[in-house]
Amino acid sequence: MRTNKSYILGRHRSVRRLLSAAAVSLGLLLSHVGNIASAAAPTEYQLKAAFLFNFAKFVEWPPAAFRTGQSPITICVFGEDRFGRDLDEIVKGQTIGGRSVAVRRITQAPRADVCQLLFVGSTERNQVQQLFQAVATQPILTVSEEESLRSDGIIHLLLEDNRVRFTVNLESAERAGIKISSKLLKLAKRVYEK
């Protein structure tokens, strides 16, 4: 029988570190976008783009997740893309663990060596469960905006009180063969385990 353990944000220092990393990512984005964007507060999807990039920093994929040792870490966006160019701008010129970072838009379930991180937005809620089940045993970090489907995905982004937060399903990560850093788990609003 599965039980859920909830870990509440407890370490302000860890929270500040992730927020600082997100701020750096947003700074990179805004420096590319120009003066108009830098004068405005970041949008929900600019923040979510920064979170996606930073999630990739705290995840370890098995070698089988990549075609070669030089393959990039690819963030795939399934369905409607609400990021526009923001996600591309955040990852432009960035590396994680010696690998470049790329963004790809897709319309069908990917293979693990094509996408290492798969984002499915709320506009695709009719397909997200089937999609996540199709890739459940592949080393793909799945991210959605539908927490109600936490049994099928790994990370779920939430918008609460105009803040982006997230939950993590460790059972799904284990099934996919992905290791998530304890630093990221400390920042999660909730962590679900067996």
Q: For residue 21, what is the domain's CATH number?
A: 3.40.50.2300
Task: Report the pLDDT averaged over residues 48-64.
Answer: 96
pLDDT digits (tens, 9 = 90+) for 99-118: 999 999 999 888 888 999 99
Distance CA(111)–CA(140), nearest Å, equals: 8
In 140-180, alpha helices (H) = 170-176
Domain contains 2: no
Mean pLDDT for the chain overall: 81
Write out the two tokens for 117. Answer: 């991180």
Task: Report the pLDDT averaged over residues 6-21.
Answer: 42
Parallel, antiparallel or unpaired: strands 163-169 and 179-180: unpaired
Counting residues of the chain whose pLDDT is more than 90, the rounded percentage is 56
Parallel, antiparallel or unpaired: strands 117-120 and 141-144: parallel
CA–CA–CA angle 158, 163, 168 (5° rounding): 35
Nearest to 168, CA basis, from 136, 143, 138, 140 = 143
Residue 126 confidence (pLDDT):
80
Residue 44 confidence (pLDDT):
92
Domain contains 16: yes
More confident residue, 55 or 23: 55
Poorest-pLDDT segment among 23-27, 65-69, 84-88, 178-182 = 23-27
Domain contains 185: yes
Domain of 184 in residue numbering reads as 12-192
Which band of pLDDT confidence, cut at 50, 70 and 90, is reported for residue 175?
very high
Distance CA(97)–CA(113), nearest Å, equals: 17
Domain contains 3: no
Task: Report the pLDDT averaged over residues 177-186.
Answer: 96
Whether residue 22 is predicted with pLDDT greater than 70 in this model: the reply is no
Domain contains 4: no
Residue 149 confidence (pLDDT):
53
As for how many domains the chain has, the answer is 1
Any residues with CB less than 8 A from the CB of 46 and at least 6 apart, and which?
Answer: 26, 29, 86
Domain contains 80: yes
Helix (H) or strand (E) holding 75: strand 73-78
Model's pTM, two decimal places? 0.79
Q: Coil, strand or helix: which one is 152?
A: coil
Domain contains 1: no
Whether residue 87 is predicted with pLDDT greater than 90 in this model: the reply is yes
- Residue 96 phi, psi (nearest 5): -135, 120
